[in-house]
Structure 1
């Protein structure tokens, strides 16, 4: 017989195999099960081929948990079949090949391998198998991804925040136990990865061993297994900050503990597939030695890199993620991290920063209540710096946390500190700029976006903007509301269209298109609604939102415009204590935008006295249902006794109201103008 040239296919195969792990640990209930990741390698080669037949050899290497009995099953694309097999039991059936270990080679230790051979038949073609099943679990042939490719495949990502990072146990900060159903929900909503913040310190014993509680490692592994089984990449970090802050003053002990913890984590996950990545440390900071903050950050990052890589296995080329100081995106800190990455000379490294927007806008302080030019420029400049420093040098970037600092579903009346339409603009633009600069975004969600009890999004429209922003832009306007004074005569009202490269398609009220000319006009980017249309849309002109119309564009989501009737709010005199003072307020359809506080001499009063405009929630809190504007104890803590403070309250309807408060000890009086 004549032999055809040998050919060989080497396949790296990844599977998830079940293993039962008993977990009885503080912070979660009863006994739970976890899956252990099973990584393997199959070397399949045709050793000889002739007309109608061939010989092949298969070597299986177990890179994961020990296996007591193995089965390897595969299919050929051209209908080949096994006719004889040696060094394995032939359990093949029509259309499917299956080999099982014999007594002497049935068990495979971690790193162990075994080989078997067979004779097969073929006709027409003899293409190599494209997939295998190891002990019943599908293993897909994989080509290792570069760091750039892997990070790109993680977009978009989602943070499982305030849970495994919660001090006091998994549910200590108000979130329920993590379930696999939660991760299925995340996957079903289009997310490709999760960031898993983990606090390890309170689960770690004393030195010199710094042993991590095995039950805690198992719980983390269970969540990782669920994520990978549901086709989510997962990035595990060390979210502890309190003890790592001591690095400048206790370098030897902090580094010993840091390395010991990462070595244990890496050992536990060393055979997990590449879908798992590690992040060095969350927001590293060193208050006792700010002058050398970048050097201290580099020390932790290098120690992390050495600890993980030294454990071998799949950790030899696992994606490792390194932060800047406090994950800050200013150029000096980007440059410092770039120097660290260059020194490591490791192709499987990504950089990470966090982004919550222009800080005054993100918390509503200093009068930054809208998505204005300064906020827009901050977004563009930040992402451009990150791109120029890292992406242009083939270093991928994960924005490991992003969102708006003032967004919190626990706050009554409104879920965020910004006016709602301005918040939507920020989210829309952030998604766009991330696509432009090829950054991977991971939304920080501690429960404000996805309700983990119901597995429903708290704000479906905001979620839609994030989803739509993955592929396209949406048009907006200069504002999302038109305020009509109840006692006033309705006149034409104009907004400026932000087309974002799209074509304006008109206005709709429900399913009815408004008539251009009679109901609205468009001149350049100026959209004007006529007095006649506004009168009709306002209806009986009850206080609040009378109706909502939509500006539609050639792509993306329509821009909602609310027609609102209002009168000037009415504030009443009040007295109370510094820990519970509130101004009785009839909002009359209007909403509070921001608040100034000044003494009679014109100097600024209250916290952050570099600005007259106080921070939403930290200093003042509107409650529209209760009809009150509360001033916080933190506000009064820095207000001088017996010196009247004039509050100037700015409302979205366009008006301002002055209100005077005077604090004497713990007593407060307030009078309207």
Structure 2
């Protein structure tokens, strides 16, 4: 199988005003030289048709879930999803008319179709040799930004770039992001602390230079950049209703300076008016009016500076970057009035709020959570995208997820949400930008903190992945092991079987499938559980025709045991978790009424009213919960665990003392 494909690409100018980018072109010849069940060998030959290249990467995507396991004459930096191969030190240069050959061993299941396209240094092959790709309209450019990534809590951090726990942004960080398959970054910048007083509101030149340096690095590494005003939105922009003229003067002065600094930059740099606009005392239609005023002022200022800003992509947010129908309608009216095909829209989405913070009993990715996601994106598609206005989901993730805190949303349920969000975004033609404040990519080591999540992200850009109804099977330590059933969520894929490590389990012997019901046999679970130590005894994979395998953990547990505790403003309850995890926490007074900060529901918020430390063996009852309960009235807390068991615990506040008693 040989596919000769013409590739147009570019070499990137380096920093300063971002130098001119050379015309380039190439051909790629892809040949599968050998194939066997589950594996294959292939060669990729790249011939340079344009100006000399010094440093290259080649990217492609497979439609059938193939992945690279070994590569020669190139370094594989992303092995599945969107695959990326980079030059070795000895073959970085390709002269005009020269070529480079590399090869790899890959794995496949179901089919092994050739890649549909190749990209050289990020540029799509289209059979031409010429200048860098330009976009005819905002829709084309926004589509080319998918997928995107936020450098969160860094240049937007108050008190300095490293003040919120992240290191300085480096070019190596941006290279890592690009190597992981991301095509754009959103660069959140808070400007207020670096801006002088009225009437000039002069931005500190050192701050402007630092922002420009990061933009230059990103563009030089073939990442589009969306630059904004970030926490300024709640620091001073929200006072627009109360201090109208001063706020507008400062806003226009800031954007005048930013626009002038970057007006000669290439089209790959876009501007976003501001982040999550909000206005004191003005919600609904009143807030929409203020939001429109800011967006129009931003548009006029930037366009008025000329140069590349005359037709640069400009992104306007809805009020609160919310996709309620009224918010979308208001922004659509604003953009329609501009009659400018280089204007797009942005919204944010962190999921159905009770689910994404684990409150009110929303512990799973259920139908209500799914319906909220679909409705949110469908409205954006119907109102904006279908009317020629592209939409960027400028931030998405779940609230409060981090690498250092215990799970607040059950891990597998969170993965289902992530997978569905990416599918719905692709289906509704929305570009997404992951909010990463350091919880996904470790900026010290430049490694993804959870490689499995990163792999699922990358896969979701081109295909779906299958799941099951739960990612855990709980076995009581002294109990009799029985058959356990899960529901297959195929997501349009074919189920290919179960694996434990490299060993494929035998259908009919180790497990059965009836319709969408997957049943794992008691004997298989007994074997996998081994000595039945508390916690995860084994992990098995459900594999599907495409996407990333779904992990199912076999866990041995006993009902957790809580002990008495005493504190002042909070409690740390000594706990033997015995292999189990908390699903949710319920709190009530003796008369049955709700207790805790969320008085409207008995099921209190994770991280606010309950915070387990599974390694340290405690459950925190934080001061936010203690301060919200009534003095002298015992509160019965019921901890619900994922195996289905519950444990009651009594907490009583008396003056400056709080006590906890195990039931």
Per the shorter chain, which TM-score range?
0.7 to 0.9
Secondary structure of the residue aligned to 1:535 is helix
1:521/1:528 contact within 8 Å kept: yes
Alignment partner of 1:598 is 2:592: no
- One of 238, 260, 265 as aligned partner of 1:272: 265
Helix, strand or coil for the counterpart of 2:300? helix
Following superposition, the deviation at residue 95 of structure 1 comes to 9.4
Rounded Cα–Cα distance in structure 1 between residues aligned with 2:656 and 2:615? 27
The answer to whether residue 569 in structure 2 is matched with residue 569 in structure 1 is: no
Counterpart for residue 657 of structure 2: 667
TM-score (norm 1): 0.80
Aligned partner of 2:469 in structure 1 is: 478
TM-aligned CA deviation for residue 529 of structure 1: 1.0
Q: Secondary structure at the match of 1:216?
A: helix
Q: Is contact 2:486–2:517 with CA below 8 Å preserved after alignment?
A: yes
Asked if 2 retains the 8 angstrom alpha-carbon contact of 1:39 and 1:272, the reply is: no
The equivalent of 2:380 in structure 1 is 386
Checking the alignment, whether the CA contact within 8 Å between 1:14 and 1:38 is kept in structure 2 is: no
Residue 557 in 1 paired to residue 548 in 2? yes
Render the CA deviation track for 1:450-472: whole Å, top value 9, x for unaligned: 00000000011011111000111
SS at match of 1:287: coil
1:206-221 map, 5 Å: 206-221=197-212
Report SS of the residue matched to 1:388.
helix
Alignment partner, residue 205 of structure 1? 196
Structure 1 position 366 matched with structure 2 position 360: yes
Structure 2 unpaired stretches of 5+: 1-8, 24-49, 53-94, 98-127
CA distance in 1, matches of 2:564, 2:272: 54
- Determine whether 1:167 maps to 2:158: yes
- Aligned residue-pair number: 554
Q: How does 1:72-83 map to 2 (within 5 A)?
A: none
The answer on 1:447 being equivalent to 2:438 is yes
Per mean C-alpha deviation after superposition, the further-off stretch among 503-512 and 240-249 is: 503-512
SS at match of 1:360: helix
Conserved? CA contact 2:318–2:328, under 8 Å: yes
CA 1:75–1:356: 2 relative to 1, 3 Å: closer
Residue 564 (structure 1) shift = 0.6
Q: Report matched runs for 1:448-597 at 5 Å.
A: 448-579=439-570, 581-597=571-587
Q: Encode CA deviations 1:199-237: one digit per residue, 9 max, x unaligned.
A: 111111111111111111111000000000000000000
1:146 aligns with 2:120: no
Name the structure 1 match of 2:17: 36
1:244 aligns with 2:237: yes
Point out which structure has higher relative CO (alpha carbons under 8 A, 6+ apart): 2
- Paired residues of 2:147 and 2:431 also in contact (CA < 8 A): yes
> Shift of the alpha carbon at 1:639?
0.7
SS in 2 for 1:177: coil
The separation in 1 between residues aligned to 2:239 and 2:322, in whole angstroms, is 19
Q: Identify if the C-alpha distance between structure 1 residues 176 and 536 changes in structure 2 by more than 3 Å, giving closer, same or farther.
A: same
Contact 1:349 1:395 in 2 (8 A): yes
The answer on whether the counterparts of 1:15 and 1:37 sit within 8 Å (CA) in structure 2 is: no
2:290 maps to 1:296: yes
- Asked if 1:406 is matched to 2:406, the reply is no
> Deviation string for 1:382-430 (max 9, x for gaps)?
110100011100110000000000211232xx2x311111111111111
Do 1:297 and 1:325's aligned partners in 2 also have CA atoms closer than 8 Å? Answer: yes
**Displacement after TM superposition at 1:526 (Å):** 0.6
The answer to whether the 8 A contact 1:16-1:35 is kept is no
Specify whether residues 320 and 95 from structure 1 end up closer, same or farther in structure 2 by C-alpha distance, changes over 3 A only.
Answer: closer
**Any unmatched runs of 5+ in structure 1?**
1-12, 19-33, 43-73, 77-93, 97-128, 132-139
Relative to the length of structure 2, the TM-score reads 0.81
What is the deviation of 1:14?
A: 9.6
SS of the aligned residue for 1:271 comes to coil
Structure 1, residues 187-206: CA drift from partner, whole Å, max 9, x if none? 00000000000011111111
Alignment partners' CA distance in 1, 2:566 and 2:178:
52
Kept after mapping to 1: 8 A contact 2:355/2:362: yes
Q: Deviation digits for residues 321-363 of structure 1, max 9, x if unmatched? A: 0000110111100111111111111110010000001111111
User: CA RMSD of the aligned region, Å?
Assistant: 2.0
* Equivalent residue runs for 1:430-441 within 5 Å: 430-441=421-432
Structure 1 counterpart SS, 2:512: strand
Alignment of 1:587-626 (within 5 A): 587-626=577-616
> Closer, same or farther in 2 for the Cα pair 1:143/1:277, shift >3 Å?
closer
Q: Is the 8 A contact 2:493 2:546 kept in 1?
A: yes
- Which residue, 274, 278, 287 being the options, matches 1:285? 278
The verdict on how the C-alpha distance between 1:346 and 1:661 changes in structure 2, with shifts beyond 3 A counting, is: same
